[in-house]
Chain A
Amino acid sequence: MSQTPTEAAARRALLLNLSPWLFFVGLIILWELVCRVFSLPNYVLPAPTAIFSAFFDVEFSRWMMHLWATLRVALMGFALSIVVSIPLAIAMMRSEFLSRTLYPLLVVIQSTPVVAVAPLIIVMMGSDDPSRVLITCLLTFFPLVVSTATGINETPEELIELSRSLDAPTRRETWQIRIPYAIPHIFSGLKVAITLAIIGAVVAEFVAAEEGLGYFIQFSTSFFKIPQAFAGLFFLAGVSLLLFKSVQWTQQIFFAWSLPKKK
């Protein structure tokens, strides 16, 4: 009755695919058990079942309204940081002067806690979408600049030399050699940036907003509705995960060649 090697391999592959889900479900069950066995009150740690029912206590249309508010800001901030970061990285790669002048400034911006700057941005720019988008962009652009710059610099020297020996203009060198080499790096930067975009939107909502998932969580806590706050948190985590996956899918569909070759 021994299994054929291929069957065993198939089982192993299936288990590998299922393992994150099994682990997650196990964790939830453990959590529920801990809450029940120690009869923890909701305000200490709400049980998954309490969070689940809190989720359905909120109308679907309200969820969608809050989701749209957060998603809108996160995606606009993300888009803005792509538009800013990639050209900036290319410019910095081309010009020693720019690179030397701007890099320290970028590091300073990145090291300043956005949470501390956010209230000032709101005061200066008002409490509407533009200031929230800027806050998101401030949080997301740095990993993108760094990863793009790294990718561009890691282009094999011999290819650059080859292109120069063939008298290719700098524009072609950038677009046809350096950028394609940087694509895997850019995508790893994008993956970091998209999760930061959600965090940025939430930070902005904590400072000033009338809607959004971050606002919803803050609001729920202020009314001591802890299970509802947790429901918002899980929803937010789900959205973040989905966005991360979307970046991955984009790479798989449009830039499949840039992925590491499968064995």
Chain B
Amino acid sequence: MLKKASSVLAMVIAMSASGMAAAADEVTYQLDWLPGGDKAPVYTGIQQGFFAAEDLEVSIASGRGSTDAITKIATGQADIGSADIGALMAARAQDTVPVSAVYMIFNQGPHAFFSLSDSGINNFADIAGKKVATSPFTSSNAFLPLVLQANDMPADAVTLTKSDPGALGPMLVTGNTDAIIAWVTNIALFKQQAASAGKDINVIRWSDAGLSLYSSAVVASDKFLSERPDVAKRFMRAYDKSVRFTHENPEKAAADLHTMVPEVDAAVATAQIGDSMPLTFNEISEADGLGTMTPERIATTWKWVAEANELSVDSLDPETIVNRDFMPAAE
């Protein structure tokens, strides 16, 4: 009899616990691209229970580029997500998009030239007069003329061809092009591809060649921030924890990502995390704090973005797109 009562009691507790779980605040997180190692923090946050600890139930939606992600957040299909802060600035300069940046994920741009290590292209100056392939829609294209000019080269110093992103690696390896423009978050993937042809690649980072700016940020809809500020704060606290966890445990984070998206290979994800973490944890984050957006660097970023998008620098006060009230450290 007692046994039965205790089992009923256990059931009641279990039911109320699940009832509590169902009452958790729901948040939809919008990625700016498909799942991958560079997007691991939000996945590991779910798997490690960081979001659950804040009484949040987070679902993830994949995206097709920063503009797509910003549009979906602006129209309320998602509450918060990741997108390039430059894309948000350009959007806000031209339209009233109710989305703000709340946390910096990559405080450095991911843009780079990749070349074969036996190509003789070893530093930025070597790129002059070379054939370079890029994908049609990457934000890197707009920055290319600027970074060339910053290095005393004319904007047309390279011969540019555009090609499908999936074709860039093969073009480089087969010698169809001297160099490609790609993101440092994918170094491991390109190295793997080159290795299958017995070759190795050089990575020439634009951030080392003068193009120093913020890139991927956590952006949220203003409606979400104003109507559910407490949820947003809890989300950012858990997110910050997830980013730190990913940095310290890349393999665990990759395994968590693999659990949620079995198509992503854990080893590849680990390599991608290794490639992208230096964009988050570096001398800038050490000086300013993880996730911080300083007014100076926001202003510098906007100058680059305005120039790249042929917008007047006066068309936007870049500070208006930033909302620092949800920084975990500000608690």
Whether A223 pairs with B196 at a CB distance below 8 angstroms is no
Whether A223 pairs with B71 at a CB distance below 8 angstroms is no
Q: Is B24 an interface residue (CB 8 A)?
A: no
Give Cα A219 to B261, complex, Å: 11
Q: Mark A123-145, 1 if CB is under 8 A from B, else 0.
A: 10011000000000000000000
Give Cα A59 to B262, complex, Å: 9
Q: Which residues of B contact A123 (CB under 8 A)?
A: 71-72, 75
A60 to chain B, nearest CB (A): 12
Which chain A residue shows the least CB distance to B72? Answer: A127
- Interface residues in chain A, defined as those with a beta carbon under 8 Å from any beta carbon in chain B: 41-44, 58-59, 62, 119, 123, 126-127, 206-210, 215-216, 218-224, 226
A126 to chain B, nearest CB (A): 5
Q: Which residues of A contact B170 (CB under 8 A)?
A: 41, 43-44
Contact of A41 among B61, B196, B262 (CB under 8 A): B196
- How big is the B interface, by class? 20 to 34
Contact of A221 among B64, B166, B173 (CB under 8 A): B166
Contact of B77 among A119, A127, A215 (CB under 8 A): A127
Q: Which residues of B contact A226 (CB under 8 A)?
A: 166
> What are 13 pairs between A and B in contact, CB < 8 Å?
A41-B173, A44-B170, A44-B174, A210-B62, A219-B34, A219-B263, A220-B263, A221-B165, A222-B33, A222-B34, A223-B189, A223-B263, A223-B264
Whether B193 pairs with A224 at a CB distance below 8 angstroms is yes
Whether A224 pairs with B174 at a CB distance below 8 angstroms is no
Q: Which residues of B contact A215 (CB under 8 A)?
A: 62
Whether B166 pairs with A42 at a CB distance below 8 angstroms is no
Q: Is B197 an interface residue (CB 8 A)?
A: yes
Known contacts: A43-B169, A43-B193, A222-B34. The answer to whether A210 contacts B174 by CB under 8 A is no
Give Cα A42 to B173, complex, Å: 12
Known contacts: A222-B166, A224-B189. The answer to whether A62 contacts B77 by CB under 8 A is no
Known contacts: A44-B170, A210-B62, A222-B36. The answer to whether A126 contacts B196 by CB under 8 A is no
B136 to chain A, nearest CB (A): 14
Which chain A residue shows the least CB distance to B174? Answer: A44
Give Cα A41 to B175, complex, Å: 14
